[in-house]
Chain A
Amino acid sequence: MNKILATIQKEWILLRRDVAGAMLLFLMPAVLIVVMAMVQDAPFKDYQELRFDLLIADNDHGRLANEIKNGLRQSQNFHVVDSIDGKPITESQLQTLLKAGKYRVGIVIPKGATAEVVNAANMVANRLSEKLGMGKLPARELRDSMYVRMYFDPVSKPTFRMSISFALDKYITYSCSNLLVGRLSKLGLSQTDMVLADSTGSDDFKRIFQGIGIKEEALNDKGSMKLFINSVQHNVPAWAIFGMYFIVIPIAGNMLREREERSSLRIQLIPYAHNFEALGKIFFYTLICTAQFAVMCGIGLWLLPHMGLPALYLGQHPTAIIPIAICIALSATAFGYLVGVVFKTATQATPFGAISVVIMSAMGGIWVPVDLLPGIMQQLANVSPLHWGLDAINHIILRNGNINNVLPHLGMLIVFSTVLFLISLYVNRSRIHSVQ
């Protein structure tokens, strides 16, 4: 028993003397709990509890469009955006904004929507007048092509689309119905008359009564985006990026070992060798990380289809993924290098390295889409390199973008990597001379 107690005492002394390591053991899980609790809160909430920016392109400019917009504005779920810089949003502008990933959902109210609803009201009135022996109002057949068109950012998940679609449908139908009822009231028909008329139970009548419908359309004219939204499209790149960032453990471990075995001293004694060694390490591990990403994509392309899952679709510009993967790999390597330089012991580096990657991935939308995160977390997502990487990949494989669409992402990843690398060199230089 004394021997066990002695061991416990010895371990306690060692831990106490590695203050930074001991603090990290408690601090990192604490940060993890806070971040994960906030991130994982979203899946426990119904999408309808959340509030989204909703783009509206109003081509109707009629009463129906106003009813729809007012109805949506009163909703807790949507923040209606129908103009930018004081100018009404056009349909093409709406599509561009969604393709750029700046908004998640938008609707286009077609030209003549109000007229269509008025026509529907006339048709209903004619049905009623037919039953009540009254005269006929001018009416034409309903146009099947008349729909409020709904567009989604291709990155949006099917469950999100369904929830938003349901909520929007509810508001649009409500607005149409309001307009219809108002119109019929003006004609002197009561709701009881309408119920009587509806008692025929014809589907056609219900269709007319609903005014115009709502229909989801693909943003990209190259094919239905629904085809590409699946677990493989999200999970393969997301978890590949997550895995790439785990390079921090071997890099930091390797650097700590080299410091412990004093081979790093040899490097210090050779003129300029430290810089070359640092660059060599970054280059090597960047290659390893890129290869890792390629293997993960290969699994999505060729292995998962054999397991009953859809194959990974790489978009219309798959070669654009190569520079993205290299930039993500570079940022992961630079982060690992910084951890290896900053921390003095494995007790410090390992928990920090592993948990920081989990935190950055949670913040970056790997676990839960960024849109569903609380406001503050959405702001923080903008500083997560994993988010930049994932968003860039999504531009290519979900939004069918090309290299030009991801240049800002690549720029941020390169700047991030360069800054981390320069900090590492500075810290390392300071450490060499800290003994002074």
Chain B
Amino acid sequence: MAYAIEIANLHKTYKGGWTPALDGLSVHVHEGQIMGLLGPNGAGKSTTINILCGLVAPDSGHATIFGKDCSKHTLELRKTIGVVPQQIAMFGNLTAWENLRYIGSLYGLSSKQVKERANDLLARLGLDKHADKRINRYSGGMKRRANIIASLLHQPSLIILDEPTAGVDVQSRAMILDFLKEYNQQGKTIVYTSHLMEEAEQICDEVVIIDEGKFVISGAPLQLIKNTTDCKRLEDVFLHYTGHSVRD
């Protein structure tokens, strides 16, 4: 199976940073996979995502998406990837529909395409009845779902989600996870970060655990649980490899 993402020996130290954010990270993601990028706070997950979507340039090493270098083909790659940021990156004073119409037009979609895709995604994520409500008036869960829809309008082949279920209720989380699984079944590759191990265990084909900017271990969740001593859950595996000490 071809790689959707290849990350090789990535190094990144921010200006004024005490320690490297990435310290020789190497990761591969197969096409059509749901890959969970896991790690404690400060492990380098967000830096990795920012490098993949061209918001941050690495000091050394390289990252490719579908064989194209993320630093050199940033604009081209942004057409094929959908990034769901951790923050609700939408215009709060616009309704969901107004947001999607604007974002769709910036992606170069026709009005018809925007309408069809937005209606479909709004319905699938349970927001069709709230499309004319301002984002500011949405609940936390609704905002998260709207944030995902906005990132998928251009039908990307690869979706990168940074903690898409942070702070949402159980119902919204279930809806989001079901949606991601369904989306993945259409052949799309999904990279997903979360601190919720149970969630990762539930939807990921493979997880990669990183810590202090370095690769720690990867594998299918069940395989990792099986192969790690005294571990019954993915959370145990995670703690086994990353330790119990609190991260700054």
Question: Chain A interface (Cβ within 8 Å of chain B)?
Answer: 258, 261-263, 265-273, 276-277, 432-433, 435-436
CB distance from B240 to the nearest CB of A (A): 33
Determine the distance from Cα of A253 to Cα of B148 in the docked complex, in whole angstroms. Answer: 27
Q: Are B92 and A263 in contact (CB under 8 A)?
A: yes
Q: Tell me, yes or no, whether B78 is within 8 Å of chain A by CB.
A: yes
Chain B minimum-CB-distance residue to A261:
B92
Which residues of B have CB within 8 Å of A267? 106
Q: Are B88 and A261 in contact (CB under 8 A)?
A: yes
Q: Are B89 and A271 in contact (CB under 8 A)?
A: no
Determine the distance from Cα of A111 to Cα of B82 in the docked complex, in whole angstroms. Answer: 83
User: Size of chain B's interface in residues, with CB distance under 8 A?
Assistant: 24
Q: Tell me, yes or no, whether B83 is within 8 Å of chain A by CB.
A: yes
Chain A minimum-CB-distance residue to B84:
A269
8 A-B pairs, CB-CB below 8 angstroms? A261-B91, A262-B88, A265-B85, A266-B85, A266-B90, A266-B103, A433-B57, A436-B14
Which residues of B have CB within 8 Å of A273? 106-107
Chain B minimum-CB-distance residue to A273:
B106
Which of A266, A267, A432 has the largest number of chain B CB atoms within 10 A?
Answer: A266
Which residues of A have CB within 8 Å of B107? 270, 273
Q: Are B92 and A432 in contact (CB under 8 A)?
A: no
Q: Are B106 and A436 in contact (CB under 8 A)?
A: no
CB distance from A283 to the nearest CB of B (A): 15
Determine the distance from Cα of A78 to Cα of B217 in the docked complex, in whole angstroms. Answer: 87
Q: Tell me, yes or no, whether B70 is within 8 Å of chain A by CB.
A: no
Q: Are A271 and B79 in contact (CB under 8 A)?
A: yes
Chain B minimum-CB-distance residue to A277:
B106
Q: Are B87 and A262 in contact (CB under 8 A)?
A: yes
CB distance from A425 to the nearest CB of B (A): 15
Q: Are B56 and A270 in contact (CB under 8 A)?
A: no
Contact with A along B83-115 (1 / 0, CB 8 A): 101011111100000000001001100000000
Chain A minimum-CB-distance residue to B76:
A271
Among all A-B residue pairs, the 4 with the closest Cβ atoms: A266-B89, A262-B87, A273-B106, A271-B75
Determine the distance from Cα of A433 to Cα of B15 in the docked complex, in whole angstroms. Answer: 11
Determine the distance from Cα of A244 to Cα of B114 in the docked complex, in whole angstroms. Answer: 36
Q: Are B57 and A436 in contact (CB under 8 A)?
A: yes
CB distance from A145 to the nearest CB of B (A): 70
Which residues of A have CB within 8 Å of B88? 261-262
CB distance from A431 to the nearest CB of B (A): 11
Which residues of B have CB within 8 Å of A432? 55
Which residues of B have CB within 8 Å of A436? 14-15, 56-57
Which residues of B have CB within 8 Å of A263? 89-92
Q: Tell me, yes or no, whether B150 is within 8 Å of chain A by CB.
A: yes
- Choose from A268, A276, A435 the contact partner of B14 (Cβ within 8 Å): A435
Determine the distance from Cα of A262 to Cα of B106 in the docked complex, in whole angstroms. Answer: 17
Q: Tell me, yes or no, whether B53 is within 8 Å of chain A by CB.
A: yes
Interface residues of B in 103-132 (CB under 8 A from A): 103, 106-107
Determine the distance from Cα of A269 to Cα of B56 in the docked complex, in whole angstroms. Answer: 12
